[in-house]
Structure 1
C-alpha cells in the first residue's frame, strides 16, 4: 500500500511538472498573428461602372487594390459605345458572354495572382485580399514585399542566356527591367511557374525562358518568401 501511495504521488508530481512546463512554454511562445493584424480593409473610393478602388492597411503601410464590381452585368450602352456600334444593334448571346468574360478574366493582374498563389500554396488561408477580381499595382506590390517578405535570391538575366542557378521553390519572382521595377511577377513552386499575363487567363510554364520571351527587357529577377518571423506566427 505504501508503494502504491508513493507511485501515485510521484505520478501526480510528474503531471504537475509537465503542466507547469507547458504553461511556461505557452507564455514564452510569441502570440499568434491574426489576419486582422496583417491587413484591414479601410474604405472604397473612385467607384466606376466596372471597377472600384479598395484602400487597405497592410501592416504599417497603406495599399490600394483595384477591384471588379460584382456581380458584373452586361451594359448595353457601354458595349455599343466601346465597339462603335449603332444604337439599333442587338448583341448576340455569344457577344455578351465575350464581353463579360473580358472583364472577369482581365480583372486580376500578375501581382495579385502571384500573391494569391503564394498564400494558397503555402497553406495560409484567410487572406482574401488577392483574388480573381483584384489588381495590385507595382507600387503597392513593392510595399507588400518590403513589409512582409524577404528577398531570398536575385538572378541577373542576360539576353538568350538561361540562369544557371536553380531558383528557390515556393517564391514570388519579381521581374524588373533597367527602367522599371516589378514589370511582372509570378509564383514559382517545384519547377512550375504560375503566371498571369495581362488580360489573359492564368497559365503555367515549365520553362522560365518562355516567360522571358514575353518580358524580354527583364534584367533582374528577385525571389521573395514570407519573412520567417511572420511565418512562425501564422
Structure 2
C-alpha cells in the first residue's frame, strides 16, 4: 500500500455513534456519523419482548392472552424482520472486502432508503448500469462482491442485494434472506424497476477522508 493512501479496515474509521434518538420496547433508533454526513440505524433490542398491549389493541380484545407458541412465533418474525435488504446487502459487501462492519450492519439492524442512498452516494461508485428490458447479459458484467441496486420509476433505490460466486443474495423486506441463481426471479417482486445499477466502494474518496481525519 502506498504511503499516500489509507486502507479501510473497519467502519469505525469512518463512522461513530452520536446519539440515541428513540427507544421503543423492541427497537432503538441511533444517530451515526458517516464520513461527513449523519445517518440513522434502527436496531432490535434483546431479549425481544412480546408487546401484549399492542396486540390487544390490534385484536380489539382487552382480554387476549397469547399461547406460548403464538408469543414465540411473533418474536421469531420480529427477529427475522429486523434486518432489511439495505442492511443485509451492505453487511455482505463489507464482509467480502474484509472490512469490519458488524457494529453497524448485522441481522438486528435495519436502515431507511434515505440512509442507504446517503451511504451509496457518498461511499460507493457506480460501475455499470442497465435497462431491465435487457436482462440477458447482466451476469456477464458481474464481479464477485458486487452491490446491486434497483431503481424504480421515481428514481428511488427501492431494493438492494448482493452477488457472489454465481448467487444473488436478496432479503425482501421482513422476509428471510433468499438465494437466487437468476436476477429475473428478483425482478418479479419489484416490477416498478426500469434500471439496475452495480456499485463498488469508492476507495479513493474513503482514503482521502481517512487521511484528512488523521
State whether TM-score is above 0.5: yes
**1:92-171 residue pairs with structure 2 within 5 A?**
92-158=67-133, 161-165=134-138, 166-169=140-143, 170-171=145-146
2:13 matched residue in structure 1:
37
Q: Which moved more, 1:120-129 or 1:108-117?
A: 120-129
- How many residues end up aligned between the 2 structures? 205
C-alpha distance in structure 2 between counterparts of 1:119 and 1:148, whole Å:
12
Larger radius of gyration: 1
SS at match of 1:91: coil
SS at match of 2:141: coil
Structure 2: gaps (5+ residues): none
Give the superposition deviation at 1:91: 1.4
Deviations 1:55-80 (CA, angstroms, capped at 9, x unpaired):
10001111111222222112222222
| Contact map agreement 1:116 1:130 (CA 8 A) in 2 | yes
Give the superposition deviation at 1:180: 3.7
Give the superposition deviation at 1:31: 4.2
SS at match of 1:117: helix
1:227 matched residue in structure 2:
202
CA distance 1:64–1:215, change in 2 (3 Å)? same
C-alpha distance in structure 2 between counterparts of 1:36 and 1:77, whole Å:
38
Structure 1: gaps (5+ residues): 1-24
CA distance 1:35–1:88, change in 2 (3 Å)? closer
| Contact map agreement 2:25 2:51 (CA 8 A) in 1 | no
1:211 matched residue in structure 2:
186
SS at match of 2:92: helix
- Which structure's relative contact order is higher, taking Cα pairs within 8 Å and 6+ residues apart? 2
Say if 2:176 is the partner of 1:201.
yes
C-alpha distance in structure 1 between counterparts of 2:142 and 2:34, whole Å:
25
1:3 matched residue in structure 2:
none
CA distance 1:69–1:175, change in 2 (3 Å)? same
2:36 matched residue in structure 1:
60
C-alpha distance in structure 2 between counterparts of 1:107 and 1:163, whole Å:
33
Residue of 47, 54, 71 corresponding to 1:78: 54
Q: Calculate the TM-score normalised by the size of structure 1.
A: 0.79
Give the superposition deviation at 1:127: 4.4
User: What CA RMSD, in Å, does the superposition of the two structures yield over aligned residues?
Assistant: 2.2
